Structure 1
Amino acid sequence: MDMGFVDDVIMTKPETSKIDVSSFIIDLSEQVPDPQPIVRIWGNLIASRGNISTVVGLAKSRKTFLTAAVASGFLSSSDFLGFDTPATGKVVYVDTEQSRAHVHKVARRILRSIGLPTNRNHDQLVVVALRELTPDQRKDATGEILRRYKPDLLILDGVADLCNDPNDLHESEALTCELMRWSSEYDNHILCVLHSNPGGDKARGHLGSALLRKSETVMLVKADGDTSVVSPQYCRNEPFMEFAFRINADVLPELCSIPAPQPKENVFADVMEVGRVYAHSELVSLLVKQANVKEGSAKMKISRAVRAGIIVKNQVGGYYLLGSQIEVSQSELHDEPF
């Protein structure tokens, strides 16, 4: 081996960083004001300058109605649906999913909500439809929109459409960093709208995980029939109270009561006979066949039902419906429960 080459490698100085870290050092002698509020709900701060937030919900949970209400509250001289602002400025609403005709309806709905004319443009509201563009083009277009209009509140309805793969870790982190950079550079707030995983409340993909970590507020929207319930999934500030809204005859959101929780379906009452005791394997087979669930899911349902008091497990491992009040001997069972 060429020892001269080895010496050169050892003696070579590492490349100097191109980032000037001095601007990132916290100076405790500096008087830094609190972030300026951009959006509040009933007085609770949910969005401030220099931050990002996220609205999460399944498809058809009325996320767009909620974010349009946020825009209306920002533009209103009072409030709308509980949303208001102590600031003044401009809203840019970017839609990445809907056709231009549907985006027109969203824009008019924002204005109708607060009594502004819907047949002309307004200096404080810019609405953009980016459905036809590629993800990279949408991201570039959003950057240009920020440079041109400098909004105080940017709403990205379909933020996942600004990246090619929201399940790609590196691309998701890069987009999240870009959103945070934009919010700092333009001293605004960026509200992102993202789908949740089917059957769950968690925001979809690596992008969802990254946004949840960096968001000032995460609002979860869940549909309950004709009503949508909004709850604070995460708040850096004081959490707001859960509330609900519905769509009225004028196709505008209005506050309403939170629906009472519905009792969960008792599948055991449908498949088990009153007064009969079932062995564990027998009950599992019954659930697999009649409730159309897999074996592992059936066993889990049985365990949960016992803990919830829906069914009873007696001393010898038999299962029966609550209220049957029966006891059996071990000889009446064909197998052990597990």
Structure 2
Amino acid sequence: MNIKEEILLRTNKGLEIFCFYMPIDFVIKRNFRNPLYDDKRASCNIYLDKKSDCYRMKDFGNDAYSGDCFWFAATMIGLDVKKDFVKVLETIIRDLQLKIYIGKQERFEQRAMIMKPPKPTISQPADQPKLMEEKKWYKLIEQSFSIEEMKYWQQYGIDSNTLQRFHVKSLAHYESISNQGKPFTLGATHEEPMFAYNMRTFVKIYRPKSKLRFLYGGEKVTDYVFGFQQLPSKGDIIFITGGEGTGKSNYISGILSGTLGSERLQAEQTLGLEITANPKGLAVLHYDTEQSEAQLHKNLGKTLRRAGVKTVPEFYHSLYLASLSRKDRLKIIRESMDLFHHKHGGIHLVVIDGIADLIRSANDETDSIAIVDELYRLAGIYNTCIICVLHFFPNGIKLRGHIGSELQRKAAGILSIEKDDNPEYSVVKALKVRDGSPLDVPMMLFGWDKQADMHVYRGEKSKEDKEKRKTDELLSVVKSAFRTKVRLSYQELCDVLMREMEIKDRTAKKYIAYMKEQRILSQDTNGNYQKGELCHT
């Protein structure tokens, strides 16, 4: 077998070569505009040529732009496929990391990669394509992580498995072209290490100890979310927390009632939340580790009445776990989820009332991490949402203890239920949301209604109350941030807000502007931030 045949064998008959070098998305046998010139009509496609048993590109509008994967790769990297065929093969082997050796040359030890990321399907003006291609080009050379580099990551609790999961590489060398069209080169040193995050269509360069910390190679998309690909495609965990007597069990009853029918209930019936109905009759599982068996039965009656259902649906299962040992409780949850998943064709929702009762101590770090990871795993396996109730008073927007810290990191959302200033009401506050900030989420109220003989939705708290909560929480964060420092730069302040409030960069910047307007922050003559007038009142 010659080198060409071996490459075709390892690249699905050349299809992977087309996919790698093609600057636009395409579908086999479906026409698209040829990216090699200013094509006006979609008359080009990729197909499997049965005669040569490899994929080829055919342009019905201009046959001069037709050929196999080697011709296409050569055209994209500026080589002549006939004169420079060996060089074309070497480039393909290197770029696709095929580990095929040509002769006695050792060309693969450095693991160099040249990437030409995809560009939008919208064609560029005729006078700009060459310049745009130059701006997208970059070259990097990877190396193994050194002991010092691993120590740097380990101080943040990041190990080699995490680095591998997020496609982080250590770099020895990086080349690219600046926005001004000038080539530049960066090299890693002991004092200034360099890392790369492979983001598929582009690369993010991180130099933590350099003045210029971040660079991007290739075409950076505007709406990228770092770590998005690593999120589980299925399942979520939501936590509800609060102290005794705040109405958590009644709130859970409102949520469960929304899953018992085939049509969605009004938000007022489910205490302000919109709950997805369960028309397919998938399993709904409720595990209680705290209530007595009699109280659990009483709560079930309230749930049925709220949903307007007279009998318990066969897909609804409420399990009493308080009498079991902690080890047996988790075992029952695992085994019953598997049983009911197969019995009902899936799981619509799982509620665990009393997650802290599944472990020895909520302040045990090892147990806390293990139980949250296990629930996270189960949510993914069964493609469902798990709602957990944690009987803790939160500390502002933070949860207490090791289990609280772990939940804060892993949960898709966290709700806190507290007694309102009006003792007849309970208030629901968001502590964590997937997008934006919890301080921008309205606070919902619910309270007891004698006539209905159940808790009912009482609307949202006023805009003034919402703004007061926002100001109070931001004041607390700012006072904590400036406890050891008098001034912080804009970026340092952004980092503090993102870390302490679990928010994204754009939300942190919005809050800085808000706090400056509200006199929570002020700026000195150098533009650094310090505590504002409101922090001293």
TM-score by length of 1: 0.60
Q: 1:255 aligns with which of 440, 445, 457?
A: 457
1:101-136 deviation per Cα after TM superposition (whole angstroms, max 9, x unaligned): 00001111111101101xx43123111110101111
DSSP 3-state at the match of 2:373? helix
Name the CA shift for 1:234/1:129 in 2 (closer, same or farther; >3 Å).
Answer: same
Q: What is aligned with 1:315?
A: none
Sort the Cα spacing of 1:235 and 1:23 in 2 relative to 1 into closer, same or farther, 3 A: closer
Partner of 1:269: none
- Write out aligned runs for 1:309-320 (5 A): none
Q: Give the Å deviation of 1:206.
A: 0.9
CA shift digits 1:166-214 (9 cap, x unpaired): 1110111000110011001111111010022477664342112111211
**Tell me, what secondary structure is at the counterpart of 1:241?**
coil
- Answer yes or no: is the 8 Å Cα contact 1:97–1:158 preserved in 2: yes
Secondary structure at the residue paired with 1:165?
coil
1:160 aligned residue (356, 369, 374): 356
| Counterpart AA for 1:134 | S
* More displaced 10-residue stretch of structure 1: 100-109 or 232-241: 232-241
Retained in 1: the 8 A contact 2:241–2:393? Answer: no
Contact 2:264 2:277 in 1 (8 A): no
> Residue type of the partner of 1:241?
P
SS in 1 for 2:299: helix
Match for residue 314 of structure 2?
123
> Which amino acid is the alignment partner of residue 107 of structure 1?
L
Letter in 1 for 2:336: I
Would you say 1:174 and 2:356 are equivalent positions? no
Cα separation, partners in 2 of 1:105 and 1:83, compared to 1, 3 Å: farther
Counterpart in the other structure of 1:78: 264
**RMSD of the alignment, in Å?**
3.3
- The secondary structure found in structure 2 opposite 1:84 is coil
Return the alpha-carbon distance in structure 2 between the equivalents of residues 194 and 201 of structure 1: 14
2 CA distance for matches of 1:207 and 1:141?
21
Counterparts of 1:140 and 1:248 in 2: how far apart (Å)? Answer: 39
Question: Which one of 53, 56, 63 corresponds to residue 238 of structure 2?
Answer: 53
The alpha-carbon deviation at position 27 of structure 1 amounts to 10
Encode CA deviations 1:51-88: one digit per residue, 9 max, x unaligned: 10100111111111111111112334222333221654
Within a 5 Å distance, the mapping from 1:201-220 to structure 2 comes to 202-220=398-416
C-alpha separation between the residues in 2 aligned to 1:206 and 1:69?
Answer: 29
Aligned partner of 2:445 in structure 1 is 244
Counterpart of 2:260 in structure 1: which amino acid? L
Whether contact under 8 Å (1:57, 1:201) holds in the other structure is no
Q: Structure 1's 149 and 27: CA in aligned 2 closer, same or farther, altered over 3 A?
A: farther
Compute the displacement of 1:93 (Å): 0.8
Structure with larger RCO (C-alpha < 8 A, sep 6+):
1
Any conservation in 2 of the 1:227–1:245 contact (CA below 8 Å)? yes
Match of 2:429 in 1: 231
What amino acid is the match of 2:453? V
Structure 1 residue corresponding to 2:305, chosen from 112, 122, 126? 112
- 1:103 aligns with 296
Where does structure 1 lack aligned partners over 5 or more consecutive residues? 1-18, 30-47, 262-305, 309-338
CA gap of 1:141–1:200, structure 2 versus 1, over 3 A, is same
Structure 1 residues 128 and 204, CA gap change in structure 2 (3 angstroms): farther
Counterparts in 2 of 1:187 and 1:257: CA distance versus 1, 3 Å: closer
CA drift of 1:28 comes to 6.1
Answering whether residue 264 of structure 2 is matched by residue 62 of structure 1, we say no
| Structure 2 residue identity aligned to 1:248 | D
2:287 paired with 1:91: no
TM-score (norm. length: structure 2): 0.39
Separation of aligned partners in 1, 2:326 and 2:316? 24
Distance 1:131 1:201, change over 3 A: farther
Equivalent residue, structure 1, for 2:185: none
- Whether the 8 Å contact between 2:442 and 2:460 is mirrored in structure 1 is no
Q: How many residues are paired up? A: 228
Cα–Cα, structure 1 residues 100 and 111, in superposed 2: closer, same or farther, change >3 Å? same
Taking the aligned partners of 1:110 and 1:248, their CA distance within structure 2 comes to 15
2:417 aligns with 221
* Deviation readout 1:220-252 (Å, 9 max, x if unpaired): 111121211112111004664221001212432
**Counterpart position of 1:7:** none
Stretches of structure 2 lacking an aligned partner (at least 5 in a row) = 1-160, 168-197, 202-232, 342-346, 466-534
Percent same amino acid among aligned pairs?
28
